[in-house]
Amino acid sequence: MKQFLVFVRKEFLHISRDVRTILILLLMPIVQIVLFGFALTNEVQDVKVLFISNESNETAALINHRILSSPYFIPVESQASATEAENLMKSNQVSLIVNYSRNFNETMVKEGAGQIELIADGSDPNMASAILSYSSAIIAASIKERMPASLENMGKVSLSTELLYNPQMKSSYNFVPGVMGLILMIICAMMTSISIVREKETGTMEILLVSPIRPMFIILSKSVPYFILSVINLATILLLSVYVLKVPVTGSLFWLVMVSFIFIFVSLTLGLLISSITHTQVAAMLISGLALMMPAMLLSGMIFPISNMPELLQVFTKFVPATWYILAVKKLMIQGLPLISEVTEIAAMCPMAAVFLSLSLKQFKYRLE
């Protein structure tokens, strides 16, 4: 046991000597949360909207008023025709065009029908669909208010679907679980594997293997500092997301932390596995980068929805630990579901850890033989 403590102290010394790395590790979650939360947002904000209406009409005036009173839209003052308006959109001066059909007011009142053309800039499809669903929801509500009977005859106006869990369409809700998965993966798997492989590369592993210290201790003591770092990062991310991004923890904080511990453990065993099959730090870093980081970012549903992927890829995503973790965090943190709903995710992660651990121990023994 004393040997183990001696060794853990050594690992902390290594980390403390490398100030740059430790700063990167501690600042990374802050930077990522801020970037994903504020810079890389697809939230609807300050949408420049241009109304085209040929005659004065009451219904249109009401709709315009409603649209502009929502905080997401700002008006563009212009008497442009439809063609001119499209040119304005090309030059990015307008993001949404609301074009009322001729005699809109009259047809609405008399026949309960009318046409409103909504044109959004499709060069950013996510943004465009968000803008369209917002504005059409507002329009539908206004029309319903003005003439309830006409709801079914709305011509081009479609009803937006209701948004569960994220009524304000804040994209940070989606990113927080993703960032958690990514950061924990990087710290546990990448850093652990690099620090073990470094001993192989410098030749100190040879000395340790000849010494009476147990190989298990060498490996365990490597993971202790990175486990602690991960816990610090987990706390940083949760605090930032609750107090800065205003993403609430609606479910149980205790189970959220527990599920994170399971994921940290999976990542640590992955790091061990990588360190047991590589011989240089560069190789360990490349493998962690390609085999862990890319799937964690691209296949876990963090950025691209899994349901939109080809079936073969969807099967593949099941083998990415981050997929399950991110799902569990979404359920716990954002949807506020009870623990029973996360059983599948937990059940998926545990065998992964067991497989990685037994593979890496087998590999480690093999090397000793």
Partner 1 sequence: MNSKESQNRNIIEVESLTKKFGSFTAVNSISFNVKKGEIFGFLGANGAGKTTAIKMLCGLLKPTSGQGTVAGYNIATSPEMVKRNIGYMSQRFSLYQDLKVWENFRLFGGIYGMKSRDIESVTAKMLKDLGFEKERNTVVESLPAGWKQKLAFSVAIMHNPAIVFLDEPTGGVAPEARRQFWELIYLASQKGITVFVTTHYMDEAEYCNRVTIMKDGAIEVIDTPQNLKSNYGVNSMDEVFYELAKV
> Judged by CB under 8 A, does residue 18 bind partner 1?
yes
Number of residues in contact with partner 1, rule: CB under 8 A? Answer: 23
302, 324 Cβ separation under 8 angstroms: no
Q: Binding segment for partner 1 among 105-113, 157-165, 208-216, 281-289 (CB under 8 A)?
A: 208-216
Shortest Cβ distance from residue 364 to partner 1 (Å)? 13
What are the two backbone dihedrals, phi and then psi, of residue 324, each rounded to the nearest 5 degrees? Answer: -70, -40
Residue number, 6 or 34, with CB nearest to partner 1: 6
Angle at which helix 192-202 crosses helix 253-277, to 10 degrees, equals: 30
Span of 35-43, 123-131, 202-210, 320-328 interacting with partner 1 by CB under 8 A: 202-210
Q: Are 46 and 72 in contact (CB under 8 A)?
A: yes
Minimum CB–partner distance for residue 17 and partner 1 (Å): 4
Which phi and psi (to 5°) does residue 85 adopt? -60, -40
Q: Would you state the structure tokens that stand for residue 159, as one six-digit string?
A: 């009803």
User: For the residues of 107-168, what is the DSSP string, one character each?
Assistant: HHHHHS---EEEEE-TTSHHHHHHHHHHHHHHHHHHHHHH-GGGGG--TT--PPPP--S-TT
Residue 92 lies near partner 1 (rule: CB under 8 A): no
Single out the residue of 147, 151, 207, 347 in contact with partner 1 (rule: CB under 8 A). Answer: 207
Q: Is 151 or 282 the residue whose CB approaches partner 1 more closely?
A: 282
Residues 6+ positions from 110 with CB-CB distance below 8 Å: none
By CB under 8 A, the residues from 95 to 134 that bind partner 1 are none
| Among 39-47, 144-152, 157-165, 211-219, the segment contacting partner 1 (CB under 8 A) | 211-219
The residues that touch partner 1, with contacts defined as CB under 8 A, are 2-3, 6-7, 9-10, 13-14, 17-18, 202-204, 206-213, 368-369
